[in-house]
Amino acid sequence: MAKIILRRLLQLIPTLFVVVAFTFIATRLIPGDPVAAMVGDQYDVSKVEEMRASLGLDDPIIVQFWNYLVSICQGDFGTSYYFNQPAIDMIAQRLPNTLLISVIALIIAVIFGVVFGVISARKQNSIVDYVLTVLSLFGVSAPVFWVGIMLVLLFSVTLGWLPSYGMGSIEKDGLIGFISHLVLPCFCLAIIPMGTFTRITRSST
Protein backbone atom coordinates (compact mmCIF):
# COMPACT_ATOMS: atom_id res chain seq x y z
CA MET A 1 0.00 0.00 0.00
CA ALA A 2 2.81 2.41 0.88
CA LYS A 3 4.51 1.74 -2.45
CA ILE A 4 1.28 2.41 -4.33
CA ILE A 5 0.74 5.70 -2.51
CA LEU A 6 4.36 6.73 -3.12
CA ARG A 7 4.09 5.86 -6.81
CA ARG A 8 0.89 7.88 -7.13
CA LEU A 9 2.52 10.85 -5.44
CA LEU A 10 5.51 10.64 -7.76
CA GLN A 11 3.18 10.48 -10.76
CA LEU A 12 1.54 13.65 -9.50
CA ILE A 13 4.77 15.66 -9.88
CA PRO A 14 4.81 15.75 -13.72
CA THR A 15 1.13 16.70 -13.73
CA LEU A 16 1.72 19.58 -11.34
CA PHE A 17 4.72 20.70 -13.40
CA VAL A 18 2.62 20.79 -16.57
CA VAL A 19 -0.13 22.75 -14.81
CA VAL A 20 2.37 25.26 -13.40
CA ALA A 21 4.09 25.64 -16.79
CA PHE A 22 0.76 26.11 -18.56
CA THR A 23 -0.33 28.73 -16.03
CA PHE A 24 2.95 30.59 -16.40
CA ILE A 25 2.76 30.59 -20.21
CA ALA A 26 -0.92 31.57 -20.24
CA THR A 27 -0.30 34.60 -18.05
CA ARG A 28 2.50 35.71 -20.38
CA LEU A 29 0.25 35.38 -23.44
CA ILE A 30 -2.50 37.61 -22.04
CA PRO A 31 -2.60 40.88 -24.02
CA GLY A 32 -1.61 44.07 -22.23
CA ASP A 33 1.06 45.16 -19.81
CA PRO A 34 0.31 44.15 -16.19
CA VAL A 35 2.78 46.70 -14.83
CA ALA A 36 1.06 49.53 -16.71
CA ALA A 37 -2.28 48.33 -15.32
CA MET A 38 -0.88 48.38 -11.78
CA VAL A 39 0.51 51.88 -12.23
CA GLY A 40 -2.84 53.11 -13.51
CA ASP A 41 -3.43 56.69 -14.57
CA GLN A 42 -0.16 57.90 -13.09
CA TYR A 43 1.77 56.28 -15.92
CA ASP A 44 5.43 57.14 -15.95
CA VAL A 45 8.01 55.32 -18.08
CA SER A 46 10.70 55.38 -15.41
CA LYS A 47 8.27 54.17 -12.76
CA VAL A 48 7.05 51.35 -15.01
CA GLU A 49 10.60 50.23 -15.77
CA GLU A 50 11.51 50.35 -12.08
CA MET A 51 8.49 48.24 -11.12
CA ARG A 52 9.14 45.80 -13.96
CA ALA A 53 12.71 45.35 -12.72
CA SER A 54 11.57 44.87 -9.10
CA LEU A 55 9.13 42.18 -10.23
CA GLY A 56 11.77 40.46 -12.36
CA LEU A 57 9.79 40.92 -15.56
CA ASP A 58 12.82 42.19 -17.45
CA ASP A 59 14.68 38.89 -16.88
CA PRO A 60 14.82 36.21 -19.59
CA ILE A 61 11.71 34.07 -19.73
CA ILE A 62 13.60 30.98 -18.51
CA VAL A 63 14.87 32.89 -15.48
CA GLN A 64 11.36 34.12 -14.75
CA PHE A 65 10.00 30.58 -14.93
CA TRP A 66 12.73 29.26 -12.64
CA ASN A 67 12.07 32.00 -10.08
CA TYR A 68 8.37 31.22 -10.38
CA LEU A 69 8.98 27.54 -9.59
CA VAL A 70 11.30 28.32 -6.69
CA SER A 71 8.78 30.74 -5.17
CA ILE A 72 5.97 28.18 -5.42
CA CYS A 73 8.11 25.47 -3.79
CA GLN A 74 8.86 27.89 -0.95
CA GLY A 75 5.17 28.65 -0.44
CA ASP A 76 5.45 32.17 -1.87
CA PHE A 77 2.51 32.71 -4.24
CA GLY A 78 3.13 36.41 -4.63
CA THR A 79 1.00 39.38 -3.65
CA SER A 80 -2.47 40.26 -4.83
CA TYR A 81 -2.22 43.83 -6.02
CA TYR A 82 -6.02 44.07 -6.16
CA PHE A 83 -6.48 43.15 -2.48
CA ASN A 84 -3.00 44.34 -1.46
CA GLN A 85 -2.15 41.26 0.59
CA PRO A 86 -0.14 38.04 0.13
CA ALA A 87 -1.94 35.44 -1.95
CA ILE A 88 -1.10 32.68 0.54
CA ASP A 89 -2.97 34.59 3.27
CA MET A 90 -6.02 34.87 1.03
CA ILE A 91 -5.88 31.14 0.33
CA ALA A 92 -5.57 30.35 4.04
CA GLN A 93 -8.61 32.53 4.82
CA ARG A 94 -10.79 30.78 2.26
CA LEU A 95 -9.46 27.23 2.60
CA PRO A 96 -11.67 26.16 5.56
CA ASN A 97 -14.88 27.08 3.69
CA THR A 98 -13.58 25.41 0.53
CA LEU A 99 -12.80 22.19 2.38
CA LEU A 100 -16.17 22.25 4.16
CA ILE A 101 -18.09 22.62 0.89
CA SER A 102 -15.95 19.99 -0.85
CA VAL A 103 -16.39 17.39 1.91
CA ILE A 104 -20.16 17.92 2.12
CA ALA A 105 -20.46 17.76 -1.68
CA LEU A 106 -18.52 14.48 -1.72
CA ILE A 107 -20.71 12.99 1.01
CA ILE A 108 -23.86 13.99 -0.90
CA ALA A 109 -22.45 12.56 -4.13
CA VAL A 110 -21.54 9.22 -2.53
CA ILE A 111 -24.84 8.77 -0.68
CA PHE A 112 -27.16 9.75 -3.53
CA GLY A 113 -24.95 8.18 -6.20
CA VAL A 114 -24.86 4.78 -4.46
CA VAL A 115 -28.58 4.86 -3.66
CA PHE A 116 -29.55 5.86 -7.22
CA GLY A 117 -27.15 3.25 -8.64
CA VAL A 118 -28.65 0.46 -6.54
CA ILE A 119 -32.20 1.52 -7.43
CA SER A 120 -31.29 1.70 -11.11
CA ALA A 121 -29.73 -1.78 -10.98
CA ARG A 122 -32.72 -3.31 -9.14
CA LYS A 123 -35.15 -1.68 -11.60
CA GLN A 124 -33.07 -2.58 -14.65
CA ASN A 125 -34.65 -1.71 -18.03
CA SER A 126 -37.59 0.01 -16.31
CA ILE A 127 -38.75 3.60 -16.53
CA VAL A 128 -36.98 4.34 -13.25
CA ASP A 129 -33.75 2.90 -14.64
CA TYR A 130 -34.02 4.98 -17.81
CA VAL A 131 -34.76 8.18 -15.88
CA LEU A 132 -31.85 7.67 -13.47
CA THR A 133 -29.53 6.80 -16.36
CA VAL A 134 -30.46 9.97 -18.20
CA LEU A 135 -30.02 12.03 -15.03
CA SER A 136 -26.61 10.46 -14.35
CA LEU A 137 -25.50 11.15 -17.92
CA PHE A 138 -26.68 14.74 -17.52
CA GLY A 139 -24.77 15.05 -14.26
CA VAL A 140 -21.57 13.75 -15.81
CA SER A 141 -21.75 15.88 -18.96
CA ALA A 142 -23.32 19.15 -17.75
CA PRO A 143 -20.80 22.01 -17.25
CA VAL A 144 -20.67 22.77 -13.54
CA PHE A 145 -20.68 26.55 -14.09
CA TRP A 146 -23.91 26.26 -16.14
CA VAL A 147 -25.51 24.07 -13.48
CA GLY A 148 -24.55 26.64 -10.86
CA ILE A 149 -26.14 29.47 -12.84
CA MET A 150 -29.33 27.47 -13.39
CA LEU A 151 -29.58 26.59 -9.69
CA VAL A 152 -29.17 30.24 -8.71
CA LEU A 153 -31.76 31.36 -11.27
CA LEU A 154 -34.29 28.78 -10.06
CA PHE A 155 -33.86 28.65 -6.29
CA SER A 156 -32.55 32.16 -5.59
CA VAL A 157 -33.87 34.50 -8.27
CA THR A 158 -37.17 32.84 -9.22
CA LEU A 159 -38.27 31.05 -6.04
CA GLY A 160 -36.25 33.07 -3.50
CA TRP A 161 -35.70 30.02 -1.32
CA LEU A 162 -31.91 30.11 -0.97
CA PRO A 163 -29.21 32.82 -0.91
CA SER A 164 -27.24 33.23 -4.13
CA TYR A 165 -23.88 34.24 -2.65
CA GLY A 166 -21.86 34.51 0.52
CA MET A 167 -20.95 32.13 3.33
CA GLY A 168 -23.20 32.15 6.34
CA SER A 169 -22.15 31.70 9.95
CA ILE A 170 -23.95 30.03 12.83
CA GLU A 171 -23.30 33.03 15.11
CA LYS A 172 -24.87 35.59 12.75
CA ASP A 173 -27.39 33.60 10.71
CA GLY A 174 -28.20 30.68 12.97
CA LEU A 175 -28.00 27.01 12.01
CA ILE A 176 -30.75 27.25 9.36
CA GLY A 177 -29.17 30.30 7.75
CA PHE A 178 -25.75 28.66 7.78
CA ILE A 179 -27.09 25.50 6.11
CA SER A 180 -29.07 27.51 3.54
CA HIS A 181 -25.82 29.10 2.31
CA LEU A 182 -24.30 25.63 1.84
CA VAL A 183 -27.12 24.00 -0.12
CA LEU A 184 -26.56 25.45 -3.59
CA PRO A 185 -22.74 25.24 -3.81
CA CYS A 186 -22.66 21.76 -2.26
CA PHE A 187 -25.29 20.28 -4.57
CA CYS A 188 -23.74 22.03 -7.56
CA LEU A 189 -20.36 20.43 -6.82
CA ALA A 190 -21.98 17.07 -6.08
CA ILE A 191 -23.83 16.71 -9.38
CA ILE A 192 -20.90 15.52 -11.52
CA PRO A 193 -19.47 12.93 -9.07
CA MET A 194 -23.02 11.88 -8.19
CA GLY A 195 -23.61 10.90 -11.82
CA THR A 196 -20.30 9.03 -11.88
CA PHE A 197 -21.07 7.11 -8.67
CA THR A 198 -24.53 6.26 -9.98
CA ARG A 199 -23.16 4.75 -13.19
CA ILE A 200 -20.37 2.85 -11.37
CA THR A 201 -22.76 1.46 -8.74
CA ARG A 202 -25.28 0.38 -11.35
CA SER A 203 -22.61 -1.42 -13.38
CA SER A 204 -21.19 -3.09 -10.28
CA THR A 205 -24.50 -4.35 -8.90
* H or E segment to which residue 86 belongs: strand 85-86
pTM score of the predicted model: 0.67
Q: Are 108 and 195 in contact (CB under 8 A)?
A: no
pLDDT band at 186 (very low <50, low <70, confident <90, very high): confident
Q: Which of 19, 35, 32, 10 is nearest to 69 (CA)?
A: 19
pLDDT band at 184 (very low <50, low <70, confident <90, very high): confident
Degrees (nearest 5) of the Cα angle 29, 32, 33? 105
pLDDT band at 126 (very low <50, low <70, confident <90, very high): confident
